[in-house]
Amino acid sequence: MTATLATPLSQIELTPGSALRITEVAWESYVALLCELGENRATRIAYNRGVLEIRMPGQLHEVINQVVAAIILALAEELDFEFNSLGSMRINRPDLAKGIEPDSCFYIQSAQAGQGVEVNIPQDLPPDLALEVDIANRSDSKLPIYEAIGVPEIWLYRQEQLTILVLQADEYQSQAASRAFPTVSAEQLNQWIQLRKTGTDLTVIRAVRAFCREV
């Protein structure tokens, strides 16, 4: 059975911070929707075995997403790690009937020259690190997608705290330190995020650089 809506999905307007969840959506319908909506949009879309979720990030969501992405870039540069940021690149796995658009994703240990520009990314090469900002407590539906795809590490911001989740035995486990950046703890990441409340993105980046030069 395939879901039918009175209003086409492409014509539904979501307010910032809201989400729409629809069940019994065929993979072909999901792919058709992606084509119809195109790439020039603010929404994020996830699909998991017939369940489709469309969400519209709000202002706080984007502030946290951008500052954590800036932290990751500063860490990679200061620690001399190769690094490719692919933003909310869609990860589709038709063989698993799963697809997701992370808030941000990064190739670090698996970074390659030209990745995503001149070099196509293999379907079975997930990013080393994905960022999920969960302001409305909806991340539980996304973690099984990341698990099946095999993303080794998730930084999950939820309830004003960032948690490091590392994939172990096909399940995410909370860890004190990052897999991608072993010298960085969840506690340290949360301290940097707190700085943004009274400072700017540059305030945070300066703190990250100072930390890296001391380790």
pLDDT value at position 6? 47
Where residue 9 falls (left for φ over 0; alpha for ψ -120 to 50; beta otherwise) is alpha
Which residues, in sequence order, are CB contacts of 25 under 8 Å at separation 6+?
2, 3, 47, 50, 51, 52
- Exposed e or buried b per residue across 12-46, where buried means at least 16 C-beta atoms within 10 angstroms of its C-beta: eeeeeeebeebeebeeebbeebbeeeeeeeeebbb
User: pLDDT of 97-121, one tens digit each?
Assistant: 999 999 999 999 999 888 888 778 8
Domain 59-214 class in CATH? alpha beta
Terminal CA-CA length for the chain? 56
The 10s digit of each residue's pLDDT in 57-81 is 999 999 999 999 999 999 999 999 9
Listed residue (142, 189, 137) closest to 159, CA to CA:
137
What band does 23 get if pLDDT is binned at 50, 70 and 90? very high
| pLDDT for residue 99 | 97
Give 167's strand partners. 172
**Backbone phi, then psi, for 177, in 5-degree steps?**
-125, 160
Q: Mind listing the pLDDT tens digit for each residue in 115-173?
A: 888 778 888 899 999 999 998 767 888 999 999 999 999 999 998 999 999 999 999 99
pTM: 0.91
Q: Domain limits of the chain?
A: 59-214
